[in-house]
Chain A
Amino acid sequence: MALDPGLRRGDGDNEYSRPMVMNRALSFQVFRHNPRDPADAPRTQEYSLDETPGMTLFIALTRIREEQDPSLNFDFVCRAGVCGSCAMVINSRPGLACRTLTAGLPESIHLFPLPGFELIGDLSVNTGKWMRAMSERLRAWLHFEAEPDVDALEAPMPPELAEQVYELDRCTECGCCVAGCGTAQMRADFVGAVGMNKIARFRLDPRDVRGDADFYEVVGDDSGVFGCMSLLGCHDLCPKRLPLQTQIAYLRRSMARQGLW
C-alpha cells in the first residue's frame, strides 16, 4: 500500500532530522578583499568543513570564522531570513546565506559579495548606503496631508488593504533583486525592483497623499519602471518571494496611463 505523501511530513522527515548517509567534506571558495588596504589584492581563499545535518551557510561561515579564520568578514543579524543582511552570491546566484542549506548545494561552494554595492570587506557589502540613496531619490516614505497627531486614534484601514500593504512591506532590502538584475548591472542609476516595490507599497497606502502624477515624477522614466526590461531576475531570486513581476507590471501600466493622459 502506498503511503499517503501528506502523512510523512508529520513524522519528522525533513531536511533537519533526516540522518545523513555520509558527512560530506565541503570546500568553500570565499572572496577575500579589504578595500581599505591598498596593498590587499582581491582573491579567493579556500576553507574546508565537514557538513552537519541541517547546516546553513550561516552556520558554516560562523564555524569557519570561529575555528579557522577570525579575520573573515560577513554580515548577519537575525539568522532567520528576516533582516536581509546576509545576502551574498552563492554559487553565482544571489541569495540569503542563513536561508540556504548546504544540503542543497554541491560539495564545492563559491561565495562572493553582492555586486553593485560598496564593498566593506570580504562578503560584507554596504547595501544600506545604496538603499538610503534610492529611498531618498524616490522619497519612499509616507507623505501625510498634515503632521500626524500621535495621540489621536489612527484612521482604520480595511484589513484586506492592510494585508496588501504588509505583503509588500515584507521586503528586507537585502539587495538580491539588484544583484540579480541585468539592467541594474548595466545602469547604475536604475532603481531596481526594491525601489519599484516601495513605490507600489506607498501607492496602495491611503494615508499617503501622493497620486500617480507624483509617482510618475520619480519612477516614470528609464531609470525607473520604463528602464525595466522584464528579465525577471528580481522575481525569480527574491528570498522573500515577493510578487515583483505583478507589482512592476501594475506600476508600469499606471505610469504609462499617467504619461499618456
Chain B
Amino acid sequence: MDVLQSVTGLFLGLFMWLHMFFVATILLGHDAFWTVARFFEGYFFFGRSLPWLVSLFVAAVSAMLVVHAWLALRKFPAQWKQHAAFWRHMGRLRHGDTTLWLVQVLTGFAMFFLAPVHLYLMLTHPELIGPYESADRVWSGRMWPLYLVLLFLVELHAGVGLYRLAVKWVAFRDPRRSLRILGRLKWAFTVFFLVLGLLSLAAYIKLGIEHADRVGEPYIPAWIKTAP
C-alpha cells in the first residue's frame, strides 16, 4: 500500500507540474495555449477534436486521486491523543521535515474537497478548454478563487510530496549532503511553479475581464479563420 501511495503520488505530482506548464502556455500567447489544448484532444492526429479523450484522461487522474487519498488516509492521526501528541511534538521540536508533514496532511485534506470541483468541470466540459473558454470560466464563471487556493495547495503538496518520495525510496550515499541539496531543490521548484501559476492565473483573469462581454465565444486562431 505504501508502494501504491508513492506511485500514485509520483504520477499526480509529476502530472501537476506538467499541467502547470501546459496552463502557463497562455503566457506565450493565445495560439500557444489553443495548440496545447487541441493537441490533447487529438486534433493534430485525427484532424478533428475529440474532447472525450480529455474526459478519459480526467477520469484516470480522478481515479488516481481517489486511490491516493484513500491510501493517504491511513496516515492521518485518527484519535485526539494522536493529534495532540503530534502538535505538541511538532511545536517542541521545531523541525522542518516534521512540520512539512502536517502541511501535507492539511493541504491533502483540503484537496479532497476542492480538487473534485475542478475535475468534474473538466470531465463534463472537456471541449471548453481554450484561451477564451478558460478565461471565461476563471472570471465570468467565478472560478478564480478556487483556482487561486488550489494553486497553493497543489504546489506545496506536490513539492513536499515529491521531495519525500526521494527521501523515502532513494538510499543516499552521503545523506546529509543530498538532503540539503534536495531540500533546496524542493523549495526552488515550489516557488518556481507558484510564480508561474500566479502569472498564468493573472493572465486568465485579465483575459476573462476583457472577454466578459462576449462570454461563450470560443477562440479560433487567426490562421484558421483566414484559411480557405
Q: Which residues of the partner chain A approach B86 to less than 8 Å between Cβ atoms?
A: 182, 185-186
Within 8 A of A (CB), among B63-84: 74-75, 77, 82
Q: Flag if B168 contacts A249 (CB, 8 Å).
A: yes
Q: Flag if B101 contacts A182 (CB, 8 Å).
A: yes
Given known contacts A226-B1, A226-B2, A232-B167, is B172 in contact with A249 (CB within 8 Å)? yes
Question: In the complex, what distance in Å separates the CA atom of A259 from the CA atom of B6?
Answer: 15
Q: Which residues of the partner chain A approach B88 to less than 8 Å between Cβ atoms?
A: 185
Task: Tally A residues with Cβ within 8 Å of B.
Answer: 31
Q: Which residues of the partner chain A approach B75 to less than 8 Å between Cβ atoms?
A: 229
B98 within 8 A of A: yes
Q: Which among B1, B89, B97, B173 is the interface contact of A185 at CB below 8 angstroms?
A: B89
B90 within 8 A of A: yes
Q: Which residues of the partner chain B approach A259 to less than 8 Å between Cβ atoms?
A: 3
Q: How far is the CB of B93 from chain A (nearest CB, A)?
A: 6
Listed residue (B86, B98, B164, B179) with the most chain A CB atoms within 10 angstroms of its CB? B98
Q: How far is the CB of A260 from chain B (nearest CB, A)?
A: 7
Task: Tally B residues with Cβ within 8 Å of A.
Answer: 29
B95 within 8 A of A: yes
Within 8 A of B (CB), among A227-246: 228-233, 235-237, 243, 245-246
Residue of B nearest to A225 (CB): B2
B175 within 8 A of A: yes
Q: Which residues of the partner chain A approach B56 to less than 8 Å between Cβ atoms?
A: none
Residue of A nearest to B81 (CB): A186
B121 within 8 A of A: no
Q: Which residues of the partner chain A approach B74 to less than 8 Å between Cβ atoms?
A: 222
A93 within 8 A of B: yes
Q: Flag if A186 contacts B85 (CB, 8 Å).
A: yes
Given known contacts A180-B93, A230-B164, A245-B179, is B169 in contact with A252 (CB within 8 Å)? yes
Q: Flag if B171 contacts A229 (CB, 8 Å).
A: no
Residue of A nearest to B94 (CB): A92
A103 within 8 A of B: no
Q: Which among A180, A187, A231 is the interface contact of B101 at CB below 8 angstroms?
A: A231
Q: Which residues of the partner chain B approach A243 to less than 8 Å between Cβ atoms?
A: 175
Question: In the complex, what distance in Å separates the CA atom of A3 from the CA atom of B74?
Answer: 57
- 5 A-B pairs with the lowest CB-CB distances in the bound complex, closest first: A250-B171, A186-B82, A249-B171, A232-B97, A185-B89
Question: In the complex, what distance in Å separates the CA atom of A249 from the CA atom of B75?
Answer: 18
B170 within 8 A of A: yes
Q: Flag if A252 contacts B97 (CB, 8 Å).
A: no
Q: How far is the CB of B187 from chain A (nearest CB, A)?
A: 16
Residue of A nearest to B88 (CB): A185
A24 within 8 A of B: no
B92 within 8 A of A: yes
Q: How far is the CB of B91 from chain A (nearest CB, A)?
A: 8
Q: Flag if A233 contacts B95 (CB, 8 Å).
A: yes
A147-190, CB under 8 A of B: which get 1 and which 0? 00000000000000000000000000000000010100111000
Q: How far is the CB of A257 from chain B (nearest CB, A)?
A: 9
Q: Flag if A231 contacts B170 (CB, 8 Å).
A: no
Residue of A nearest to B175 (CB): A245
Q: Flag if B168 contacts A92 (CB, 8 Å).
A: no
A139 within 8 A of B: no
